[in-house]
Amino acid sequence: MSLDAAFFLALLLSTLRQTTPLLLTALGGMFSERSGVVNIALEGIILFGALSAAVFVERMEASLGPAPWLPWAGVLVAMGVGGLVAWVHAVVSIRYRADQIVSGTAINLLALGAPSLVLTYFYGNATNSKEVQSRLPLLGPEGFALSPLVYLAFLLVPLAWWVLFKTPWGLRLRAVGEYPEAADTLGVNVYRMRYLGVVLSGVLAGLAGAYLSIGFLNQFVRGMSAGMGFIALAAMIFGKWHPVGILFSTLLFGFASALAIQLQGTDILPAVLVQAFPYVVTILVLAGFMGRSRPPGAVGKPYEK
């Protein structure tokens, strides 16, 4: 196959599609880390979101039949479940002052096992859900149609910037993550801000999960997040905990994934090696740039009044 215009157009669209879940998750991770809590559970939360969206929509279809509002309800369910799982992480790491990385890893381990139980219960197999008919619709001109969640993800970037840097709430969130003692003295409820930050990250990761299972595909497949949560965390670090930086870093990772997909089936590089692209890019990026960025001052440290 030759590298022609069609190839590059497909590459561009694929980049946008691949960037979306990363961008959503990384923006969520930003809110969590800006509040001072590392949320390494994002990977697992994506899976829980994807699972709940697919199962909810499929079950509703089975009883009500397909409907245009169903996938949107599925998206809401996924956001709710994502927020709930993140809340568990918040309780364990904020209230019980657990090591945030260990707590997040526990949730990721849970996301490796729990979906199989749910899938076996509903579908009798442990690897994937039934396909849904009501997928999210595509928006845009013929040939360029993209899922509405793609547009939403990119719209969230200026919104997140405005919330974080131009509202009192954003100021308090950042203060809690930088120097909780000072914020506390000024009457900011440190715990409540942190809970909000973590739950918000879960809501966004759940949204990314819904995008994967009922926007990008039409079913839940075991392990379908494939490290996206971790790549999003790396992108967030690379983007220096700033929405605009995150936009560009997730685009880089999205491009690496898209390139891997577009190169599959060509005889340029073997597909199995090309699949490792995004992961290698993550490692290289972290090695090259992390030393120069500065995380929020109190990130990873439990706060004690």
Partner 1 sequence: MLTDRRVGALVLLGGLLTLLLWYLAPWAVPHRLFGGEGVLLNPFGHHLPLGSLPQGYRDTWLLPYFYLALAWLLLTLVLGFRAGPKGLYLLGGMGLGLFLLLAFLFYGSVGQANAPALAQGEPPPLRRFSLGLAAYATLAFSLYLLLLGRLRAPGGLAFLVRRRGAVVPLFSLLLAVLLGGLIVALIKESPGEAKGLREALMVKLDLIAYTYQLLFSPLVSLPGFLQSLLLATPLIFTGLAVALGFRGGLFNIGAPGQLILGAIAAMLVGVYLPGPRWLVLPLAILAAALAGGLWGALPGWLKARFGAHEVINTIMLNYVAASLLLFLISTNEYRFFGQPVYLPFKYPGYEARSYEIRPEARIPLWTDLLAPGGELSFALPLAFLLGLGGYFLVRKGLGYRVLAGLLGMVLGYLLGGLLPGPQVALGGELTSVRLNGSFLLALLALLFFHFYVFRSVGGYELRALGLAPKAAEYAGVSSGRKMVAILFLSGALAGLAATHYVLGGGIDEYRLKQSLPYSVGFDGIAVALMGQNTPLGVGLSAWLFGVLLTGGLQVNLQLGISRELVAVLQALIVLFIAAGGFLPRYFTDPLRAAEVELRAQEAGKGGAR
Question: Which x/- pattern over 61-100 shows residues binding partner 1 (rule: CB under 8 A)?
Answer: ---------------------------x--xxx--xxxx-
**Which positions from 98 through 117 interact with partner 1, judged by CB under 8 A?**
98-99, 101-103, 105-107, 109-110, 112-114, 116-117
Closer residue to partner 1 (CB): 91 or 152: 91
Closer residue to partner 1 (CB): 218 or 282: 282
In angstroms, give the least distance from the CB of 158 to partner 1: 27
DSSP sequence for 265-298: TSSSS-HHHHTTHHHHHHHHHHHHHGGG----TT
Phi and psi angles of residue 276, each rounded to the nearest 5 degrees, phi first: -80, -5
Cβ atoms of 130 and 123 within 8 Å: the answer is yes
In angstroms, give the least distance from the CB of 251 to partner 1: 19
Instruction: Determine if 157 is a binding residue for partner 1 (CB under 8 A).
Output: no
Q: CA of 228: how far to CAs of 82, 187, 224, 233, in Å? A: 15, 37, 9, 8
Cβ atoms of 244 and 230 within 8 Å: the answer is no
Closer residue to partner 1 (CB): 97 or 192: 97
In angstroms, give the least distance from the CB of 243 to partner 1: 20
Instruction: Determine if 127 is a binding residue for partner 1 (CB under 8 A).
Output: no
Instruction: Determine if 291 is a binding residue for partner 1 (CB under 8 A).
Output: yes
Instruction: Determine if 26 is a binding residue for partner 1 (CB under 8 A).
Output: no
Question: Which x/- pattern over 196-235 shows residues binding partner 1 (rule: CB under 8 A)?
Answer: ------------------------------xx--xx-xx-
User: In 35-139, which ranges are continuous DSSP H helix?
Assistant: 42-64, 70-90, 100-123
SS3 content of the chain, % helix, strand, coil (to 5): 70, 0, 25
Whole-number Å distance between alpha carbons of 258 and 261: 5
Q: CA of 42: how far to CAs of 128, 184, 273, in Å? A: 20, 27, 26
Residue type at 243 in one-letter notation: P
Instruction: Determine if 3 is a binding residue for partner 1 (CB under 8 A).
Output: no
Residue written as tokens 């997928």? 135
In angstroms, give the least distance from the CB of 291 to partner 1: 5
* Binds partner 1 (CB under 8 A): choice among 65, 140, 158, 270: 270
Closer residue to partner 1 (CB): 112 or 138: 112
Whole-number Å distance between alpha carbons of 155 and 169: 20
Whole-number Å distance between alpha carbons of 284 and 154: 25
Q: For binding to partner 1 (CB under 8 A), which residues are involved?
A: 40, 88, 91-93, 96-99, 101-103, 105-107, 109-110, 112-114, 116-118, 120-121, 126, 226-227, 230-231, 233-234, 237, 267-270, 272-273, 275-276, 279-280, 282-283, 286-288, 290-291
